[in-house]
Amino acid sequence: MSMTSIVLLVIAVALIFYGVSIYNRLVALRNRYQNAFAQIEVQLKRRYDLIPNLVETAKAYMSHERDTLEAVVQARQGAMAGLASAAEKPGDPKAMAELAGAEGALSSAMGRLNVVMEAYPDLKASANMQQLSETLTSTENRVAFARQAFNDAVMQYNTYRQRFPTVLLAGTFGHGQDAALLEFEDSEAIQEAPKVSF
């Protein structure tokens, strides 16, 4: 074997190992953002589970506000469907946009419910409602933290995927497009937990 053959063989082996390391890093980063989305999913499901309790508690006091309560229930169902779609394809731009829109509709419906509840002092004084309020606020904070962790993981994945020479191989390895961030329509409102005062 000539010296040139040995050098070419060493270069080929080095390139193969470099390609394998790029592939493994892409997989690790994709798994990281998918795991981060799973944390969002847990917190959103927790939030969705609290809403029926909130509505049931409010029903006892707000017999004339049926439309508002139904709007919250429908928005919750839409948000749950958006989450299910996004959970199948974390990072998919369309799925992330659907989830963001559904969450925006739910936040809007919850905001209207909070405004209506202001007119019911007995409801605000209810121990059950106060406990639900505290739990909901805590959950909103957890959603915000989980969303930030997901977006950070997506940013790391996208940055690595777009770097040279990774960008040349990413499509070949099944990483052809960037993952989408989870951005809600009203980003200023999302930075703070919703104010639920009872």
Can you list the domains of the chain with their CATH numbers? 3-190 (1.20.1440.20)
More confident residue, 67 or 160: 160
pLDDT, position 193: 52
CA nearest neighbour of 107 among 13, 188, 24, 7: 188
Q: What is the mean pLDDT of residues 172-177?
A: 90
pLDDT, position 188: 46
Assessment of whether the complete model's pTM goes beyond 0.75: yes
Using pLDDT thresholds of 50, 70 and 90, give the confidence band for residue 191: very low
- Dihedral angle over CA of 141, 144, 147, 153, nearest 10: -90
Q: Which tokens hold the place of 79?
A: 């948000």
